């Protein structure tokens, strides 16, 4: 049984990878929006009054890139829940649900596949940013960057699967997810230092998991953060565990 569960995780991961690489339009679309933000805002907001609170001597591009990486992971990971609804619609979910394997193995395979594809997209954006003039303080910190990107991916893939497990309509899922992820992105410090937000918004910012993900990415890539790196890591790890448990539980109770 244990070997069956491991094989299930691998098969679900491989399936997500094949779906990703076969859908060329999906790859282009996933990169287009982050690139648009990165290109337009890095030039358009260079002298904005909203940039107070940035590290001395840093340019806006350096500050922005970790935020765009966080946005890439947020969008691509959350919409991974669409694959659950797609599998419901075409009957694949029913077939794997009756297989003699643990449902947790199915969900772990989905999460692993979603994190892998999201990481590919994030690393592509990071590579593009280098050609736009972004400078990494130390390439030894790339591993730490990948860890934070993976944690962001796990948090929001779990969240996306949790929502998709209790829905039947793809359009309804897209509407709800967009309603949630845009405030999550805008109130995370991805675009501007969180010290520039009004005091009444601070509680929302502090309970936003992406806030700690973006801050951890900035600490890793440019050596600037507004929280300690350990706080970023443990808070994000806590959210990741919570969302994996929640997503797994709701997925295990879904009806097909």
Q: Look up tokens 């679900």; give the residue.
A: 12
Q: Using CA atoms in the order 121, 122, 124, 128, what is the torsion angle rounded to 10 degrees?
A: 140
Q: Using CA atoms in the order 105, 110, 113, 119, what is the torsion angle rounded to 10 degrees?
A: -120
User: What tens digit of pLDDT does each residue of 129-179 get?
Assistant: 888 888 887 777 889 999 999 999 999 988 888 888 777 777 777 788 888
How many structural domains does the chain have?
A: 1
**Residue ranges making up the domain that contains 169:** 2-252
pLDDT for the residue 210: 94
pLDDT by residue for the chain (256 residues), tens digit each? 466 778 878 888 888 888 877 776 666 766 777 777 777 776 656 555 445 556 566 677 888 889 999 998 988 888 777 777 777 766 666 666 666 667 777 788 888 888 998 899 899 889 888 888 888 877 778 899 999 999 999 999 888 888 887 777 777 777 888 888 888 998 988 888 888 788 888 889 999 999 999 999 999 998 888 889 999 999 999 999 999 888 888 877 766 5
CB 208 within 8 A of CB 184: yes
pTM: 0.88
Alpha helices for the chain (secondary structure H): 2-22, 24-44, 60-78, 82-90, 92-97, 103-131, 142-165, 170-186, 202-206, 209-222, 229-252
């Amino acid at each position: 049984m244990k070997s069956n569960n491991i094989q299930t995780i691998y098969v679900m991961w491989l399936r997500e990878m094949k779906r990703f690489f076969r859908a060329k339009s999906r790859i282009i679309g996933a990169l287009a929006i982050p690139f648009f933000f990165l290109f337009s805002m890095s030039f358009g907001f260079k002298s904005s009054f909203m940039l107070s609170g940035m590290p001395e001597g840093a340019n806006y591009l350096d500050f922005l890139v970790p935020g765009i990486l966080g946005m890439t992971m947020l969008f691509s990971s959350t919409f991974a829940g669409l694959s659950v609804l797609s599998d419901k619609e075409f009957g694949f979910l029913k077939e794997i649900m009756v297989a003699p394997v643990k449902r947790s193995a199915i969900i772990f395979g989905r999460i692993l596949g979603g994190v892998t594809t999201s990481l590919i997209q994030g690393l592509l954006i990071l590579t593009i940013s280098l050609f736009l003039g972004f400078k990494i303080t130390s390439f030894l910190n790339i591993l730490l960057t990948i860890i934070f990107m993976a944690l962001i991916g796990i948090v929001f893939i779990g969240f996306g699967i949790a929502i998709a497990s209790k829905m039947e309509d793809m359009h309804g899922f897209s509407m709800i997810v967009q309603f949630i992820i845009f405030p999550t992105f805008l109130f995370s410090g991805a675009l501007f230092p969180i010290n520039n937000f009004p005091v009444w918004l601070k509680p929302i910012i502090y309970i936003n998991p992406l806030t700690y993900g973006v801050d951890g990415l900035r600490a890793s890539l440019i050596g600037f953060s507004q929280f300690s790196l350990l706080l970023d890591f443990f808070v994000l790890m806590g959210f990741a565990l919570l969302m994996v448990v929640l997503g797994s539980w709701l997925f295990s109770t879904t009806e097909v």
